[in-house]
Amino acid sequence: MSGYPMKWPSDPVGWLDHPRLDQAWVAYSSPGVIDGHVAVQNGREVTRLFVAPAARRMKVASALLDHVSVWAGGRLILDVVDRPDSSAVAFYEATGWRYTHMSTAGWSGPRGETVRLRHYVR
């Protein structure tokens, strides 16, 4: 289980197709099989990045992020939930993202817990 999203939205379609999102893309390996998705808000903030477990380690996340980088014209930012042994954190740090700081999210986890975010730039 990937834990994404951390808190399942009551309106998944509205969450994925939110008016604040500037653009969104999906990656697919065959018709009807979505391998991953990513969205951008505020011109350069990566959000909603997810790769299906069956498509992991196949460079889907890298391809999506490279596409976003070209679309955004370069520098990107993103926030990652701070968890021990996070594969997301390991991926970002291994692929050139630079950690900048930590903050408390403006939302809570599924049990009402405080969520800490790691912030990155690329």
Q: Rounded CA gap, 104 and 63, in Å?
A: 29
pLDDT value of position 3: 57
pLDDT value of position 63: 95
Task: Give the predicted TM-score (pTM) of the model.
Answer: 0.80
Domains and CATH numbers, the chain: 12-121 (3.40.630.30)
Angle (CA) 41 45 50, round 5°: 90
pLDDT mean by block of 10 residues, the chain; 122 residues: 59 72 90 90 90 90 94 91 85 92 91 92 92
Q: Rounded CA gap, 47 and 53, in Å?
A: 18
